[in-house]
Amino acid sequence: MIKIYGMPTCPYCDYVHAQLAGREDEFEYINIGENIRNMSAFTRLRDTNPAFDHSKEIGDVGIPAFVLPDGKVTLDPAEVGLIEYKTPGACSVADHKDGRKGC
């Protein structure tokens, strides 16, 4: 099962999360804002995994983050068969703020 770390206030995460409907047997979505245990698990991952180096350099949080069953970490939704925000047909930040579902 692929773990996805994200939170609902992140438009990139929300866009990915909407794609998981009906695919719960493939993905576990972990809301890092839901409780301190989830945030702590994500922080430990972010602090120790080089997949986050660029995100840290530019001041990004690094979500959504994907942890594959073999432990590999990626920030690229395409690597887990999902569509990335801002690709053709994806929502805009304005859509997200206006409450468009899946944005």
pLDDT tens, N- to C-terminus, the chain (103 residues): 999 999 988 989 998 999 999 999 999 999 999 999 999 999 999 999 999 999 999 999 999 999 999 999 999 999 999 988 765 555 555 665 666 654 4
Q: Which residues contact 63 (CB under 8 A, 6 or more apart)?
A: 5, 6, 7, 10, 12, 13, 32, 42
Please provide residue 79's backbone torsions phi and psi, each rounded to the nearest 5 degrees: -70, -15
Tokens of 65: 């983050």
How far is it, in rounded angstroms, from Cα 30 to Cα 28? 6
Tokens of 9: 């206030």
Indicate the pTM of the whole model.
Answer: 0.82
